[in-house]
Amino acid sequence: MKRPLGLTCVASPPLAQAGTGAGVVHGLVSLTTGTPGPPLGLELKVARVCPNDRGLPVLGDAFRALADATGARDSVIFAGRHSTGVARAGPEPVHALRSPWPDLIGAFSGVASLLGGQDEGRVAWLMLVVETAVTDVSPATIQALQGLVDLGAGVDIICTHPAADMGLLSRLAQRTGGELLQASAAEIVDRLLRRVALLRDQRVRAARLEVRSPRGVRIQRVFRVEPSPAFVGLLPSSVDAPLVLPVGPVAADAPPAWLISAMTPGRGPGRFRLFDVSLRYEQGGEQLGADAFAGQTLVAEPPKMLPVEGAVNAALARVDTAAWIEEIARAYASHDARRVAGLLDRLVRHAVTLDDRPLVSRAFDLRLSFLRTGHLEATDLNALRRHGAAAARAAG
Amino acid sequence: MRLRVCVQCGFDAAPVEAGDGTPWPVLGSHVEGRRPILLEQTLPADEGARRFLGRDDEGARYEIFAVVGTDPQGALAARRRAHEALPLASFPPDRTVNAGALRFTVTHLPEGSERVPEIIARLAELDAADPVEIIKRFGVPVVRLFAELHDRGVFLSQQDPDELVVSGDRCRFLRPPEPHPVADGPVAPGLRRVPFGFGAPELHGLCGGRIDPRADVFFAGAVLYYLLARIPPLEEAGDAMDRLPSPTVYRDDLPPGVVAVVRRATSPVPARRYPDCRALRTALDIALASEDARRQAARRRLGLKLGHELHIGVLKGQYAPQNQDDLFVAYDARNGVGLFLVSDGVSISEHGSGDIASECVRIEAHRLWQDLPREEAGDGAPRPTLPAERDARRGLLQATLDRANARIGELIHRDMPRFPGPPEGIMAATAVAALLDGNRVTLCSIGDSRIYLIRDGHITSLLPYHDLCTQLIRMRRATPRVARAAPAAAALIRCVGEFEKDGDDRLVPVPLQPEFRELTLLPGDSLVLCSDGIPDYAGFDDEHAEARICQTVETAPGAPWAAFELMVLANRGGGGDNISCIVLRFEEQEGES
């Protein structure tokens, strides 16, 4: 049967010597696009929100242009997901919220209550524009965000404030399968339109991707590799619970992929499963799915030739750029100047191995400026993040 | 069918029987034919085939390729086609032998054939062998083979040193390689087997993971590296973050030009390597020719242009007002005798300070220059002369450093006649010195200052550094990866300022142990003596810094200009340390050719 989505999973290293104690393995989980099938017929919907919301984005000229282009009149845009049998015409206001949303918690909670009141599966995507310098979120915000995830809604965050913590916003968006779109006012309309077009072009619904590991294999961290590298940081809620990866919209030219790092226990020779991955989704009212697994062989003697999974290692090198930058941000937040200087130096050398000269120059200049002044701006870090993401895309 | 995990090939399960129940041959058995061949060694093989190395009763060596008789997958035919496509890259099959359900293809290896790992293992025992001869005999054929492949517009995405055989002046693969046309572009990362110690980072999926002819350059460079260093292959070769330590860490007196070529070929960053093995072959030929010229050069005078700079460093100067570097330059152009010295005071010391320590070294260098024997010349002014014997010249430098050490001790003793506690935290300095006599130079180093030789677009650090990391590697106490991660890996373990204490708590200078090296200079050579303030800040990493130093010196219109540019380069890169350098550019003496 023709299927719109496939699944692959490979692990690195595929072969190691037994009896050397605990080890680190990396798994690359990738979706592959097959026969697409008809689009789901997504429509753009608009939710009216209270006009004096301080925490919600203020519409700028560029965003108003987008609103004109899409018919949206307010700052929260929904891509409504309808079953093909229920046709609805044109964008229209579907809800009005009167309670103020003073911050992201309010925004996420309010939208969750908004979505919860609708028909199941009708609204699936939220685009939230942040124009304030968000630098911290509380556990309550995460909880509110989780409410959106539970409702099956993804969140794209569009950030236009140069000093907002883009790393944090990116992680928030990643948790729902969404993306952080970093764009200047001049670029934002184009980025949003492209994103909306991608959302409208989806062919599957209710996609759920689960990763299970056998007992003893402990997942440590999760990165998204495609369409752009970012730290996700989702972990299973318990030892036996699967890791649920937020799928998000699937673009044909860059289907999503994730990198999972895990610790393995010290074991004797043999073949061992590391990751079992299952994908379930719906198309045309039919439940479809795909399964894959990756394993590792442990041998008693040191192997003469080292089998390597180049694709996994290449993905690891790409996400390392994002990891280094976030580590620099953490070190700076904890006022550890020595560590910031050391990490900037390492980032330079890492960028050198990727042969990305713009990122090398940017990081090198930042290091130089930090050594001379001891000062680092949030905008510098965001510029580095943008360069890092661009570099990783180029490397891929 | 019983399965077992194959250690040779990695992760494939190796059946002990062929598909139809025919047992595969085992080691110790014979392949019958005109002469029975004893199977001695297993080689990696594809699924459905077996490979061995064997020997007949006259000692001739063979490669044996076995498939089941029906050969359903056409392995034999595919192998022949691969050989015919690139006949120069592999040995022609000799004959076919049928034995029951098995078909053997026997390939005779020429007399004296040696596989690359066997050569490397054997070289470790040959302490006295000339490194240039070793490179010419074993390294050049390997480079030439890959250069021929690249000449034909193909490269390999999977190399295996076990498959390489050197025989006479030729090198070939035991198994016909699977080439990729260069025109098809790089090969994407995927599952492949990478040999320990020889695999470029991109074979591991690093550095973008795109495999092109530069992966072959790394492989050939790694072969040259092990031939020079005479060590077993390093597991961390191919690590994207760190390049291999210089072969000079493992062995003294290696040809500097060849070392520079090898270091560039084994760069972890593909863009910094030679674009293909043709360029590598050209560079290696030039380096070997230069080495031959050095060996054949008679003693004579060369023209010398020199420049020097001393700068506090723009960043270092913000928090430390004293420049702790010092230098000494003296040269008599009439007979080409000179003494050049750079000294870098150690910043952190409880007793005294680095600037005083480096000044002690400079004062003693001045004293050495003044005390050199003089001979009368026609112009009436006496000229300094140097002893002809190597050991005597080294003795002069050794005595200078020892006197500087003693001077530091005297300064400390003046303040503290009885030194409390262990003799630590005393001011100290590094030193690099060059004692020039015509086209012959005696080099000396203690600490982590640098002496670079620059020639033909290549740069080599001539003497190893006395930091903990280098010494751990040098003494084989740790692999490079472990040594780099050692606590205080950059700490100096030798410098001017080493003492013991006698029974009266007086400081007693310890005889210093600097590194020495003799070098014959050629017109076109440039020597750079500098403190670590230049290589540490001149580039993104040490490899980039060396490349920029090389480029700066080679493109500057004169030696003074080059020294100034080096100082500017380090300051532009941060200037986080004191900067001192001496640039010596050697030219043909006017009137000579």
Q: Between chains, do B209 and A368 touch, taking CB under 8 Å as contact?
A: no
Do A62 and A179 fall within a single domain? yes
Query: How many other CB atoms are found less than 10 A from the CB of residue A377?
Result: 13
Domain count, chain B: 3
Residue with tokens 């719109």: A4
Do A196 and A207 fall within a single domain? no
Over pLDDT 90: what percentage of chain A? 12
Say if A86 falls within a structural domain: yes
| End position of a domain, from candidates A227, A261, A296 | A296
Do B466 and B511 fall within a single domain? yes
What does the DSSP assignment read for B225-261? HHHHH--PPPTTTT-SS-PPPPGGGTSSS--HHHHHH
Phi, psi of B64 (to 5 degrees): -120, 130
pLDDT at B241 (0 to 100): 77
Residues of chain B neighbouring A271 (CB-CB closer than 8 A): 5
Do B482 and B531 fall within a single domain? yes
Do B161 and B240 fall within a single domain? yes
pLDDT band, residue A65 (cuts 50/70/90): low
Do B159 and B98 fall within a single domain? no
Contact A299/B7 with Cβ under 8 angstroms?
yes
pLDDT at B176 (0 to 100): 86
| End position of a domain, from candidates A166, A200, A234 | A200
pLDDT at A116 (0 to 100): 56
Identify the DSSP state of B491: -
Say if A306 falls within a structural domain: no
pLDDT at A87 (0 to 100): 28
pLDDT band, residue A66 (cuts 50/70/90): low
Do B185 and B321 fall within a single domain? no
Say if A159 falls within a structural domain: yes
Do A53 and A28 fall within a single domain? no
**Chain A CA closest to residue B194:** A306
Q: What pLDDT digit, counting tens, does each position of A354-368 carry?
A: 888 888 988 999 998
Do A81 and A121 fall within a single domain? yes
User: What is each CA distance from B229 to A67, B72, B114, B127, B358, in whole angstroms?
Assistant: 68, 46, 19, 11, 33
Nearest CA distance, A251 vs chain B (angstrom)? 21
Do A336 and A357 fall within a single domain? yes
Across the interface, which of A317, A354, A371 has its CB nearest the CB of B576?
A: A371
Do B432 and B562 fall within a single domain? yes
Q: How far apart are CA B108 and CA B92, in angstroms?
A: 8
Q: Residues in chain B whose beta carbon is closer than 8 A to a beta carbon of chain A?
A: 5, 7-11, 44, 160, 162, 188-196, 199, 201-209, 240-241, 268-271, 315, 318, 540-541, 544, 573-574, 576
H or E stretch covering A203: none
pLDDT at A259 (0 to 100): 94
Do A96 and A165 fall within a single domain? yes
Residues of chain B neighbouring A297 (CB-CB closer than 8 A): 5, 10-11
Across the interface, which of A305, A310, A315 has its CB nearest the CB of B204?
A: A310
The residue among B15 and A181 whose pLDDT is bigger is A181
pLDDT above 60 (res A53): no
Q: Between chains, do B195 and A353 touch, taking CB under 8 Å as contact?
A: no
Q: Which are the contacts of B421, defined by CB distance < 8 A and separation ≥ 6?
A: none
- Give the CA count within 13 Å in the CB-facing half-sphere of B353: 7
Contact A176/A230 with Cβ under 8 angstroms?
no
Q: Which of A259, A304, A364 is most worth mutating to test chain B (most B CB atoms within 10 A of its CB)?
A: A304
Do A158 and A267 fall within a single domain? no
Say if A128 falls within a structural domain: yes
Do A52 and A196 fall within a single domain? yes
| End position of a domain, from candidates A242, A267, A296 | A296
Do B180 and B52 fall within a single domain? no
Query: How many other CB atoms are found less than 10 A from the CB of residue B268?
Result: 25
The CATH number that applies at residue B264 is 1.10.510.10
Residues of chain A neighbouring B574 (CB-CB closer than 8 A): 367-368, 371-372
Do B230 and B366 fall within a single domain? no
Identify the DSSP state of B566: H
Say if B97 falls within a structural domain: yes
Identify the DSSP state of B188: P
Say if B3 falls within a structural domain: no
Domain count, chain A: 3
Q: How far apart are CA A129 and CA A134, in angstroms?
A: 12
Q: Between chains, do B10 and A316 touch, taking CB under 8 Å as contact?
A: no
Q: Which are the contacts of B107, defined by CB distance < 8 A and separation ≥ 6?
A: B62, B63, B64, B65, B91, B92, B93, B94, B174
Say if B1 falls within a structural domain: no
Do A334 and A273 fall within a single domain? no
Q: What pLDDT digit, counting tens, does each position of A284-303 carry?
A: 778 888 999 999 989 888 87
The CATH number that applies at residue B66 is 3.30.200.20
Six token digits for residue B541: 């990493």
pLDDT at A99 (0 to 100): 35
Length of chain B: 593
Q: What pLDDT digit, counting tens, does each position of A302-345 carry?
A: 877 788 888 999 899 888 888 889 899 889 888 888 899 999 99
Structural domain range at position B40:
30-109
| End position of a domain, from candidates B265, B295, B325 | B295
Does the N-terminal peptide bond of residue A102 adopt cis geometry, omega within 30 degrees of 0? no
Q: What pLDDT digit, counting tens, does each position of B458-484 carry?
A: 999 999 999 999 999 999 899 898 999
Say if B76 falls within a structural domain: yes
Nearest CA distance, A28 vs chain B (angstrom)? 12
pLDDT at A64 (0 to 100): 54
pLDDT at A88 (0 to 100): 33
Do B339 and B224 fall within a single domain? no
Say if A301 falls within a structural domain: no
Q: Residue A115's closest CA among A87, A88, A85, A80?
A: A80
Do B151 and B174 fall within a single domain? yes
Do A263 and A289 fall within a single domain? yes
Q: Which are the contacts of B558, defined by CB distance < 8 A and separation ≥ 6?
A: B305, B307, B585
Q: Between chains, do A308 and B193 touch, taking CB under 8 Å as contact?
A: yes
Q: What pLDDT digit, counting tens, does each position of B400-437 carry?
A: 999 999 999 999 988 888 888 888 889 999 999 999 99
Q: Which are the contacts of B203, defined by CB distance < 8 A and separation ≥ 6?
A: A308, A310, B157, B158, B192, B194, B211, B215, B238
Do B125 and B216 fall within a single domain? yes
pLDDT above 60 (res A85): no
Residues of chain B neighbouring A269 (CB-CB closer than 8 A): 5
The CATH number that applies at residue A77 is 3.40.50
pLDDT band, residue A274 (cuts 50/70/90): very high
Structural domain range at position A370:
311-395
Q: Between chains, do B540 and A360 touch, taking CB under 8 Å as contact?
A: yes
Say if B530 falls within a structural domain: yes
Say if B10 falls within a structural domain: no
Residues of chain A neighbouring B240 (CB-CB closer than 8 A): 317, 353
Say if A372 falls within a structural domain: yes
Say if B2 falls within a structural domain: no
Which amino acid is it at B581?
Answer: C
Residue with tokens 């005109």: B34
Do A58 and A192 fall within a single domain? yes
Say if A302 falls within a structural domain: no
Q: Which of A313, A316, A370, A372 is most worth mutating to test chain B (most B CB atoms within 10 A of its CB)?
A: A313
Helix axes B390-415, B354-371, angle to 10 degrees: 140
Say if A305 falls within a structural domain: no
Q: What pLDDT digit, counting tens, does each position of A31-52 carry?
A: 988 777 776 655 555 443 333 3
Q: What pLDDT digit, counting tens, does each position of A92-144 carry?
A: 333 333 333 445 566 666 666 655 554 444 445 666 766 667 777 667 667 76
| End position of a domain, from candidates B75, B91, B109 | B109
Contact B462/B434 with Cβ under 8 angstroms?
no
Do B145 and B286 fall within a single domain? yes
| End position of a domain, from candidates B295, B322, B342 | B295
pLDDT at A123 (0 to 100): 47
Q: Between chains, do A310 and B209 touch, taking CB under 8 Å as contact?
A: yes
Say if B173 falls within a structural domain: yes
Which regions in chain B score pLDDT beneath 70?
A: 1-21, 69-73, 127-128, 591-593
The residue among A35 and A222 whose pLDDT is bigger is A222
Q: How far apart are CA B340 and CA B329, in angstroms?
A: 5
Q: Between chains, do B540 and A348 touch, taking CB under 8 Å as contact?
A: yes
Do A193 and A208 fall within a single domain? no
The residue among A194 and B418 whose pLDDT is bigger is B418
